[in-house]
Amino acid sequence: MEFQIKFVFFGHAGITLVARGEYPLNVVTTFNEKKREKQIKYERSLLRELSIQRLQARVKDCFGSSRLASGLLMNSGIEEACYDVAIEAYLLGGRYSRFGYFGESLEMARKRCRDEEKHLVDTLYNFFLFWGNGDEGIAGESLYYMCEQYVDGWWREGFQKGEKRHKLKMH
């Protein structure tokens, strides 16, 4: 039986391994697929350490003191948006934790994802503004600051958990 392996390059899509021989032509895998699978596996492992109770408690701690935000938190849609942003910030910190593992400080790693983090802050703030019907007035600046603190806290927690997982070789 003669068995040939032929490599086919597809630019940024990665390398596709193609086997020829007695068997039909099969695509074994691509690097991008493997990379995405590994990222999903890592994110799932990070998310196992989160609980709904912690998400709820953090939302109340961060936004419960603000008159505008606490009134809006009665709406389940806003609370869910806070959870979504928290999870995204947590995972973002977890993804960038590998730079911390390789010697970068937390702040240096954070600069790498400044735009993504700002997008999360802006998304949460705009969501509050949308549901607040323009009642924020002067409180808008403090609300933005609370959104920044909220995202920052979750990013840091994800970074620390991810760094710990890298140190324990659990990535």
> What is residue 9's predicted lDDT score, i.e. its pLDDT?
47
Span 13-27, mean pLDDT? Answer: 52
Q: Which residue has the higher pLDDT, 112 or 67?
A: 112
Distance of CA 106 to the CA centre of its chain: 16
Residues 161, 99 share a domain:
yes
At CA 73, angle to CA 43 and CA 113, rounded to 5? 35
pTM of the full structure:
0.75
Segments forming the whole domain that contains residue 16: 1-39
pLDDT of residue 44 exceeding 50:
yes
Based on the fold, state whether residues 69 and 35 are members of the same structural domain. Answer: no
Say how many domains are in the chain: 2
Rounded Cα–Cα distance for residues 18 and 32 (Å): 16
Which tokens hold the place of 15?
């390398």
